Amino acid sequence: MPQAYDVAIAWNWEYDADFVALLDAACRMRGLSLLPITPSTLAAALERLRAGELGLRLLLDRAWDIDETFYPLADGCRERGVRILNDRPLALRAWDKATMHLEFISAGLHAPHTIVLPPFDDAPYLSAPDLAPLGHPFILKPAHGGGGAGVRRDLTGWAQIQDIRRENPADKYLVQARVTPRRTEAGPAWFRVLFALGEVLPFWWSVQTHEYRPVTAEQEARFGLSALRDIARTAPASAGSTSSRPKSPSASATACS
């Protein structure tokens, strides 16, 4: 009879320790069992899983993107029908901002006018596209990465774009129209919205400091922010979609090749 756990979390980042402790406490409150899997326990967990001595209902995989030795854990869980959060194939797709931009348009979500550029390594001598629809200045961002890394603001010309593509030649780039947020008494209307297991968690977000502040129920009603919840519920479906990509009347994108 395999030893069964309701939840397993694979983790290898020291700063996740507090999160794992909170997850453990939350599981205990609900009468659920938690199995942490770390680099020091990975081999034993894999051996038990393959031998049929370990059963899991859900795996939260926080480790594969840093350490490839964790790949077999999720692969084995996937083969056994275990539900996986942050599953590698879906995460790799969702991390690609160029792909997601096109999928969001296909789903009818509003998005800035965007020109998608291939990696410099694949197309070093692109002809300059028409940048006029973007306005001036415009934004340039790599298709991969987070926390604002690689995002360049206040650009005005094609030569600047080419110079930046050369700096990171293996990635695609998105050239986007600059969006000026509406200002409210709570600050500029920039938002980050988290979607976790069906729950929508909207936050005010600062472009300068990257600080998150929860949107209160009173603010949501006063500023008419319920649309944030609709957007957050639509976006996850787009991340797993393989649909065609017709243009929406509210957004546009051009792919250069």
Instruction: Write down the pLDDT at residue 237.
Output: 73
In angstroms, the CA 140 to CA 128 distance is: 14
Listed as ranges, residues in the chain with pLDDT below 70 are 238-257
On whether the CB atoms of residues 201 and 168 are closer than 8 A, the answer is: no
In angstroms, the CA 32 to CA 25 distance is: 10
Q: For 38, how many CA atoms within 13 A lie in the half-sphere containing its CB?
A: 8
Instruction: Write down the pLDDT at residue 110.
Output: 87
Torsion of CA 150, 153, 158, 160, to 10 degrees: -60
Side chain identity, residue 88: R
Instruction: Write down the pLDDT at residue 257.
Output: 54
Query: Quick one: 97-255 is in which CATH superfamily?
Result: ATP-grasp fold, A domain (3.30.1490.20)
Alpha-carbon Rg for the chain, nearest whole angstrom, is 21
In angstroms, the CA 5 to CA 90 distance is: 24
Domain residue ranges in the chain:
3-87, 97-255
- For 3-87, CATH number out of 2.60.120.620, 3.40.50.2300, 3.40.50.300, 3.40.50.720 equals 3.40.50.2300
Instruction: Write down the pLDDT at residue 238.
Output: 66
Instruction: Write down the pLDDT at residue 234.
Output: 86
In angstroms, the CA 16 to CA 13 distance is: 6
Burial of 161 (0-12, 13-18, 19+ CB in 10 A): buried
